[in-house]
Amino acid sequence: MAYEFPVKNKFEAREVTELDFDIGNETADLYVDLHRERIQGDTDYLREIKYGLSLDDENRLSRQPQSYAKIIFSGHRGSGKTTELRGLHHFLDHPDRYFSIFIELEKETEVYNFQPEDLFIFLIAKLAEKVQEKNVLFESNELNDIVSDWLSETEVAKELNRTFNAGLGTEAGINVNIFSIVKLKAVLKSAFTAESKFSSVVRRKIRQNPSRLIERFNQALVDLRILIRNKGLGQDVLFIVDGSEKTRPEVFDQLFIKNYSLIEMLNVNAVFSVPITAYFDIERGPSQNFFQNHVLPMLKIKDPSATALPQVITRRIDPETFLEADALEYIVRMSGGCPRQLLRIVNRSLTIGAGRKIDRELAEKACLRLGGEMLDQLDSEHRDILLKGEFNTADVKVKELLFSLAVIKYNGDRAINPLIIQDVESLRESSG
């Protein structure tokens, strides 16, 4: 359905403020540059990431580090990780910095069906796609050998051509090159959504000898680095992988905790997003001294009118039709700096008011209900932690509070969600 933004129809207003509304499908520019606001504010996490990627004070990669950075990037649900990583990619993809390759797993594949081996498949496929996109004449025997091995079984080649229309040529003796790898990339989502001969064979071959695949891939990267430097496309190669936090828990457990040595073997800089609960598992697990761990902070709301957060709403729904000024200011403050919570409050306000203009009273009622629902999900241990203010640990119950947004993380600080803080204070008074 096509929308004319900001929408003025009350049913459309409800639809475009739903959490699962995909703004990527719309022609209007609904993206709000919260990245710019974050880098102008308290930016400890960004400075640390730049340092971890060896950028100097002029934001240049002027020296090659002795080891390759592997950065874990996490954050609350709805904190804006994808937008932030996309902004980081655009900044880093620069001749003075990196030849950056952005992989958005949610668009490339069905993340629920994603297997640990698929990471290496998408690294190769997206690398080939970026090389072709930049018109780089890169021919790699190592990459060709990897893909040729994947396609060596006749039934696999037949399936790709006949079922998925890969257009790889005849099944016998396929001549693999960078262009055929890009063709292969185009069918990955459909081939990996349902169990196919191709997906099962490739995954099996990677599991059987992952170190051999990584060895070949690393050699291909050596040749690519020389080429991109000579062409002024970057000083090194970087992968940014978004969406791994949406895979099943056992997948990122295999990738980042149990078998993290495979990622360690990759001679390339990389940034991976993970769920905030996995962040603590990694931080305390056997890979804690290998990965650099960073959490995307929420935006600190000092002055609601001085933040870009209202635009998340006003670009979607017409403020003259649906929002009193003081109600919008209140909603922004109660969002806790979380875009997801901001949308939830507006959507709930519209639902309670059956689409009428949101005033302060209606916004307060929506926040009261959302806060009550959040408290209802907490058990006695959760409540006890909130009452005592003891949520600056990595204990399991604290992780659950962070995941549920009952506790929100800012740069260096954690705070109780504004939706429930009054209830917690009331409980504290009654118990004290």
Q: How confident is the model at residue 25 (pLDDT cuts 50, 70, 90)?
A: low
| Number of Cβ atoms within 10 Å of the Cβ of 307 | 21
Same domain, 54 and 167: yes
User: Which residues contact residue 385 at a Cβ distance below 8 angstroms, ignoring those fewer than 6 apart?
Assistant: 391, 397, 398, 401
Same domain, 291 and 381: no
Same domain, 215 and 121: yes
In a domain, residue 290? The reply is yes
In a domain, residue 189? The reply is yes
Alpha-carbon span 13 to 80, nearest angstrom: 21
pLDDT > 70: percent of the chain: 87
Same domain, 185 and 289: yes
In a domain, residue 16? The reply is no
In a domain, residue 167? The reply is yes
Q: Would you give the distance in Å from CA 73 to the centre of its chain?
A: 8
Alpha-carbon span 185 to 110, nearest angstrom: 14
Q: What is the pLDDT of residue 222?
A: 94
Same domain, 198 and 91: yes
Q: What is the pLDDT of residue 237?
A: 96
Same domain, 273 and 126: yes
In a domain, residue 366? The reply is no
Same domain, 287 and 385: no
For range 64-85, the mean pLDDT: 79
Q: What is the pLDDT of residues 187-230, one digit of tens each?
A: 788 877 767 888 899 899 999 999 999 999 999 999 999 999 99
Please, are residues 168 and 183 in contact by the beta-carbon 8 Å criterion? yes
- Is the pLDDT at 310 greater than 70? The verdict is yes
Q: How confident is the model at residue 167 (pLDDT cuts 50, 70, 90)?
A: low
In a domain, residue 137? The reply is yes
Dmax (CA) of the chain: 79
Q: How confident is the model at residue 127 (pLDDT cuts 50, 70, 90)?
A: very high
Same domain, 274 and 395: no
User: Which residues contact residue 389 at a Cβ distance below 8 angstroms, ignoring those fewer than 6 apart?
Assistant: none
Alpha-carbon span 25 to 13, nearest angstrom: 16
Domain stops at, among 295, 310, 335? 295
Q: How confident is the model at residue 413 (pLDDT cuts 50, 70, 90)?
A: confident
Alpha-carbon span 384 to 386, nearest angstrom: 5
Q: What is the pLDDT of residue 196?
A: 83
In a domain, residue 110? The reply is yes
Domain stops at, among 295, 326, 349? 295
Between 21 and 230, residue with greater pLDDT:
230
- Is the pLDDT at 77 greater than 70? The verdict is no
Same domain, 281 and 400: no
Q: How many domains does the chain have?
A: 2
Same domain, 148 and 272: yes
In a domain, residue 396? The reply is yes
Q: How confident is the model at residue 27 (pLDDT cuts 50, 70, 90)?
A: low
List residues bridging with 7 in a β-sheet. 317
Of 145, 130, 140, 150, the closest CA to residue 220 belongs to: 140
Alpha-carbon span 191 to 171, nearest angstrom: 17
Q: What is the pLDDT of residue 218?
A: 96
Same domain, 289 and 382: no
- Measured CA to CA in angstroms, residue 64 lies from 159, 253, 422 at distances of 43, 30, 51
DSSP 104: E
Q: How confident is the model at residue 240 (pLDDT cuts 50, 70, 90)?
A: very high
Mean pLDDT of the chain: 85
Range of the domain at 405: 377-431
Phi, psi of 350 (to 5 degrees): -65, -40
What count of Cα atoms within 13 Å lies in the side-chain half-sphere of residue 144? 11
- Is the pLDDT at 283 greater than 70? The verdict is no
Same domain, 140 and 255: yes
Domain stops at, among 273, 295, 317? 295
**Burial of 186 by CB count in 10 Å (0-12 exposed, 13-18 middle, 19+ buried)?**
middle
